[in-house]
Amino acid sequence: MGSSIFAARLKDLLLYSLKKDTQLAEETTLKRKSVYNWIRGVTYPNAESLLILANYFQVSADYIIGLSDKEEDMKAVEISATEAHDTLINHLHAYMREKGITYYRLAKLLGVGQGTMMRWFKAGATPEMAILIRISKLLDKSLDELLGRR
């Protein structure tokens, strides 16, 4: 998955919905500069922003990011960032129990430091998009499922 796929999908979704990037920012809690950087392929959204985009355009998070080519028509699911975080952590805990692995082993599988991962579990931090994608692949679950949209 490259930033160019995400940027192209976001551009297409804006075009299809007859919206401009400034309108997207005005009609949501997204920052205009963030939307602009996403469209240019400079950065990715965080999990909270991804939820906002998926709900706004009523498509799957996997489609927007480029993990799926299937443009599902999904109703907006009102889920808070806290609920999405808790759902993600529950999936990670379930995986750890199922595989009988420790936090240390999970951190190694995901290619992150143990301190970074512990911030997700203990401090409520959310993994960056590239790590969310790794989690999705490791757990064999869609981003929508990991974040509680399914």
Q: Are 37 and 130 in contact (CB under 8 A)?
A: no
Based on the structure, what is the number of domains in the chain? 2
H or E segment and range at residue 25: helix 21-27
Tell me if 73 is assigned to some domain: no
Domain end, chosen from 20, 41, 65, is at: 65
Q: How far is 150 from 85, CA to CA, in rounded Å?
A: 14
Residues 90, 51 within the same domain: no
Residue with tokens 């999705």: 136
Average pLDDT of every residue of the chain: 89
Q: Are 85 and 140 contained in the same domain?
A: yes
Give the CATH number of the domain where residue 113 resides.
1.10.260.40
Asked if residue 92 has pLDDT above 70, the reply is yes
102-142, pLDDT tens digit by residue? 999 999 999 999 999 899 999 888 888 889 999 999 999 99
61-86 pLDDT tens trace? 999 988 888 776 667 677 888 899 99
Structure confidence at residue 10 as a pLDDT band (50, 70, 90): very high
pTM: 0.83
Q: What is the distance between the alpha carbons of residues 68 and 113, in angstroms, rounded to a whole number?
A: 28
Task: Please check whether residue 145 is in contact with residue 77, taking contact to mean a CB–CB distance below 8 angstroms.
Answer: no
- How far, in Å, CA of 42 to CA of 126, rounded? 20
Mean pLDDT, residues 81-93 taken together: 93
According to the model, what pLDDT value does residue 33 have? 95
Tens of pLDDT, residue by residue over 27-71, are 999 999 999 999 998 888 888 899 899 989 989 899 998 888 877
**Residue-range definition of the domain harbouring residue 109:** 81-146
**Same structural domain, 61 and 88:** no
Confidence of residue 89 (pLDDT cuts 50, 70, 90): very high
